[in-house]
C-alpha cells in the first residue's frame, strides 16, 4: 500500500515560499519527499538570512509585475502549486487608493495570474492548486480594509477556480490561517500585550506555526482529499469559532 502523504517524485512550487508560512509549507512538502521550488521578491536565496532555504530551489519573482510574470520560466512539470504571496500595509495606508491597489495586486490579482499560468501544467499531472487566504477574509479588520477584502476575494476565488478547473482534474482548495508570527504582522505581533491577548482568545492557547499550515497543505494536495474541491479550511486554533 502506498503512503498517500508520500510526495516522492512530485514537484511543488510555493509562490511566497521564502518566508513564514510559505517557507514552512515548502519544507513540509520537502520532508514528504517532493522536489520543492520557492519564489520571493529578492534576487537570490542568500538574501534570506532569516529563512531556512536549505533544500529549496529559489527563483526570483515579483507577482505585482505583470511583465515579470509573463517572462517567468515556470517549472516543466507541476504537481502542486501553493499561492502564499501576501502583504499588508499599516498606518491607515490601506484606506488610500495607492495602499489599496498595492495590496490587491499582490494578494488578489496575482492569484488569478498564477492560476492561469500554471493551469495547463497542473492539468497535465492531475495536480492541486492551494490558495492561502486568512480568517481575516471572514472578519472586519479595523485597520486593513484592503487586506480583508483581498482575503475574502481569495476565499471566493478558491470556490470559483475549484468549480472551473475540476473538469481538468485540478483540485483547487485553500487554507485560512489564524495568527502566525511572521514578517507580515511583526508590526503588531511583536507587541507582547497584543500577542498575549490573541493567545488568550485562541482556544488552542497558542499562536499558529508555519508547520500547522503545512499539515493542512499536505492533506489537501494528497489523495486523502481527492473529493475535496473549492474548500478553504481555517487553521486557526479555533479562534474564528470562539465567541
Ligand atoms: N502570518 C499570519 O498570521 C497570517 C495569517 C493569515 C494569513 N496569512 C497569509 O499567509 C501568507 C504568507 O504570509 P506570511 O505570514 O508567511 O508572511 P511573510 O513572512 O511576510 O511572507 C510573505 C511571502 O510573500 C512574498 N511576497 C510578498 N510580496 C510579494 C510580491 N510582490 N511578489 C511575490 N512574492 C511576494 C514574500 O516574499 P519576500 O520574502 O521576498 O518578501 C514572502 O515569501 C500571506 O498570503 C498572508 O496574507 C498570514
Alpha-carbon gap, residue 216 to 218, rounded angstroms:
6
243 pLDDT more than 90: no
Predicted pLDDT of residue 1: 75
C-alpha angle 224/31/177, rounded to 5°? 65
Predicted pLDDT of residue 45: 97
Architecture in CATH of 11-236 = 3-Layer(aba) Sandwich (3.40)
Task: Point out the ligand 1 atom lying closest to the alpha carbon of residue 185.
Answer: 1
- Residue owning the nearest CA to atom 21 of ligand 1: 19
SS3 at position 11: strand
Chain segment 86-102, per-residue pLDDT in tens: 999 999 999 999 999 99
Mutate to test the pocket of ligand 1, among 52, 104, 184 (most ligand atoms within 8 A of CB): 184
Chain segment 136-171, per-residue pLDDT in tens: 999 999 999 999 999 999 999 999 999 999 999 999
**Residue 181: exposure state from Cβ atoms within 10 A (0-12, 13-18, ≥19):** middle
Q: What pTM, to 2 d.p., does this model score? A: 0.98
Closest residue by Cα to residue 198 from 134, 242, 155, 140: 242
Mutate to test the pocket of ligand 1, among 19, 66, 110, 133 (most ligand atoms within 8 A of CB): 19
C-alpha angle 233/164/2, rounded to 5°? 60
Grid cell at residue 235:
487553521
CA of residue 150 to ligand 1 center, whole Å: 13
C-alpha angle 90/92/96, rounded to 5°? 115
147 is an active site residue = yes
Alpha-carbon gap, residue 85 to 182, rounded angstroms:
13
Average pLDDT over residues 30-40: 98
Query: Percentage of the chain with pLDDT > 70?
Result: 100
Predicted pLDDT of residue 31: 98
CA of residue 204 to ligand 1 center, whole Å: 23
Average pLDDT, the chain: 97
DSSP for 31-78? HTT-EEEEEESSSSGGG-TTS--TT-EEEE--TT-HHHHHH----S--
Amino acid at each position: 500500500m502506498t503512503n498517500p502523504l508520500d510526495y516522492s517524485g512530485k514537484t511543488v512550487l510555493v509562490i511566497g515560499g521564502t518566508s513564514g508560512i510559505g517557507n514552512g509549507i515548502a519544507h513540509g512538502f520537502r520532508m514528504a519527499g517532493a522536489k520543492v521550488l520557492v519564489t520571493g521578491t529578492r534576487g537570490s536565496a542568500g538574501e534570506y538570512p532569516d529563512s531556512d532555504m536549505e533544500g529549496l530551489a529559489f527563483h526570483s519573482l515579483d507577482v505585482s509585475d505583470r511583465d515579470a510574470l509573463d517572462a517567468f520560466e515556470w517549472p516543466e512539470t507541476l504537481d502542486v502549486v501553493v499561492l502564499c504571496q501576501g502583504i499588508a500595509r499599516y498606518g491607515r495606508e490601506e484606506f488610500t487608493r495607492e495602499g489599496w491597489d498595492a495590496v490587491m495586486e499582490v494578494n488578489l490579482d496575482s492569484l488569478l495570474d498564477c492560476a492561469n499560468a500554471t493551469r495547463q501544467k497542473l492539468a497535465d499531472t492531475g495536480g492541486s492548486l492551494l490558495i492561502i487566504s486568512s480568517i481575516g477574509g471572514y472578519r472586519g479588520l479595523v485597520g486593513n480594509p484592503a487586506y480583508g477584502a483581498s482575503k475574502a476575494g481569495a476565499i471566493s476565488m478558491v470556490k470559483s477556480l475549484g468549480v472551473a478547473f475540476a473538469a481538468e482534474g485540478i483540485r483547487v482548495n485553500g487554507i485560512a490561517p489564524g495568527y502566525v508570527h511572521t514578517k507580515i504582522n511583526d508590526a503588531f505581533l511583536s507587541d507582547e500585550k497584543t500577542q498575549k491577548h490573541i493567545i488568550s482568545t485562541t482556544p488552542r492557547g497558542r499562536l499558529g506555526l508555519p508547520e500547522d499550515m503545512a499539515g493542512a497543505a499536505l492533506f489537501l494536495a494528497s489523495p486523502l482529499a481527492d473529493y475535496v474541491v473549492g474548500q478553504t479550511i481555517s487553521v486557526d486554533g479555533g479562534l474564528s469559532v470562539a465567541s
